[in-house]
Amino acid sequence: MDIHSIGVIGAGQMGNGIAHVMAVAGYDVVMTDISEEALQAAVARIDKNMERQVGRGLISAEDKATAMGRISITMDTPEVAQTDLVIEAATEREEVKQKIFDGLLPHLKPETILTTNTSSISITRLASRTDRPEKFMGFHFMNPVPVMQLVELIRGIATDKDTFDTCLGVVDRLGKTAASAEDFPAFIVNRILMPMINEAVYTLYEGVGNVTSIDRAMKLGTNHPMGPLELADFIGLDTCLAIMNVLHDGLADTKYRPCPLLTKYVEAGWLGRKTQRGFYDYRGDEPVPTR
């Protein structure tokens, strides 16, 4: 199937990044959200990020103007459903994603491919509740989308070859690299990454090291560009906790038990950069460790 138009559901950090790269790659993009304010903010963020790319010589000013012209926003679900490929990029809660797909189904074209940017939830289970499980798969971008080169492609048990090949073609057109993952909790990247972050939180919880020493040890001792606690704040502690719960529930192994300290931070509403406090406090000129 030839893909010409992309529907993006969710105008947050992941959704606006996906819309950005799709528009630059030449696709017509229709982006929606439950908030008009969120949509306007997303367009402003995309414009700012593209301008940064122009400044770095990655795209021309003409490329930027053309790409911005390919992005439209709407609060109308049927308009998004009439695209060739829909990418759901809402919050990492299964009931939210399911409600979105339920609302789309009556308006979809027969040939439209449905995908989800979930970082951990079962593709097979989400697909089974739609009218097209063979045309449903995981399309997991890394954050920040315009910068990160990897896309995880996850087939559900019913996903057919044509759907996979079509999505692989989209990844190629974006100039990114695909990694094919099987449909098990958290797939590849987060199956490995989140337990590492969780273990770093346990290391903090048990007093083995403080925030600064843990992040410094991993940056300088293993050459990671960001320490695990700094990275957790960047991802969002609520997202980290949600993925750990998916791993713990789906694999029934105690090694995936979320650290109580991670749960406590989320209960406090200290979710990282997006709330200005997490393992670091971002309200001043420089981030300050909170423990």
pLDDT attached to residue 91? 87
Same domain for 176 and 203: no
Read off the pLDDT of residues 87-129 as tens digits, 9 standing for 90 and up. Answer: 999 988 899 999 999 999 999 999 999 999 998 899 999 999 9
pLDDT confidence band for 133 (50 / 70 / 90): very high
**127 and 95, same domain (yes or no):** yes
pLDDT of amino acid 120: 87
The secondary structure of 132-198 as a DSSP string is -GGGEEEEEE-SSTTT--EEEEEE-TT--HHHHHHHHHHHHHHT-EEEEE-SSTTTTHHHHHHHHHH
127 and 159: one domain? yes
Q: Active-site residue numbers?
A: 119, 140, 152, 190
Average confidence score pLDDT of the chain: 96
Alpha-carbon gap, residue 213 to 71, rounded angstroms: 44
CATH code, domain with 277: 1.10.1040.10
pLDDT recorded at residue 92: 86
| CA pair distance 280, 287, nearest whole angstrom | 6
The pLDDT of residue 84: 97
Inform me whether the pLDDT recorded for 146 exceeds 90: yes
Q: Which helix (H) or strand (E) holds 74?
A: strand 71-74
Mark which of 181, 206, 240 sits at the end of a domain: 181
The per-residue pLDDT for range 30-86, each reduced to its tens digit, is 999 999 999 999 999 999 999 999 999 999 999 999 999 999 999 998 899 999 999
How many structural domains is the chain composed of?
A: 2
Question: Could you say which DSSP state residue 112 is in?
Answer: P
If phi > 0 it is left, if psi is from -120 to 50 it is alpha, else beta; for residue 269 that is left
